[in-house]
Amino acid sequence: MAELSAVRQELRDRNLSSSVEYMSHQKDEQQKLGVPFCGGIRGGLRSGKKITIMGSVNPEPDSFDISLTCGCGDVALDMCVRFDERDILRNACVSDAWGDEERSIPYFPFIAGQPFRMEIHCEHTRFRVFVDGHQLFDFYHRVTPITAIDTIQINGGVTITKLN
């Protein structure tokens, strides 16, 4: 997690920000978004809101990370996709304290060099994550209120083509 913290600090230092909502209105859906990416979620998350990430895994990936955060503070959901372990680690950091890590998944959906579509559904008590239309896992909220979750960060061995 120290590596991820260093990436977050680098993003903060560069003051990267854009609006996920703004990106969704661009006409060229295949425009590549730069990774590492840090963008705002207009209005924060709420029950019923969905984030869709479309992209492709790099040809020789080690890992990639997707995080939903409260600005530069708490981490509501940190997903670390690890190709060597064929695993997806999930965790949250509240008040500078990381919680218990979760890693159970029914299958590993990512293939080097292949496209994917990830949907993160925000529900009242949890995030429900789907990849290519198949439910992958649930992650129960540890950060409240969920409206404070207003930033998405993406880092690592992926190319993002659409984010909304």
CB 112 within 8 A of CB 61: yes
Domains and CATH numbers, the chain: 2-99+111-163 (2.60.120.200)
Q: For 109-161, how does the pLDDT look when each residue is reduced to its tens digit (9 = 90+)? A: 999 999 999 999 999 999 999 999 999 999 999 999 999 999 999 999 999 99
**In this structure, are residues 67 and 79 in contact, taking their beta carbons and an 8 Å threshold?**
yes
- Under DSSP, is residue 71 helix (H, G, I), strand (E, B) or coil? coil
pTM exceeds 0.75, yes or no: yes
Q: For residue 103, what are its two tokens?
A: 């890693």
**Separation CA 91–CA 103 (nearest Å):** 9
For 10-53, write each residue's pLDDT tens digit: 444 443 333 344 333 343 433 457 899 999 999 999 999 999 99
| C-alpha atoms less than 13 angstroms from C-alpha of 86 in its C-beta half-sphere | 5
- Starting at the earlier edge strand, list the strands of the sheet with 115-122: 134-140, 126-131, 115-122, 50-57, 158-163
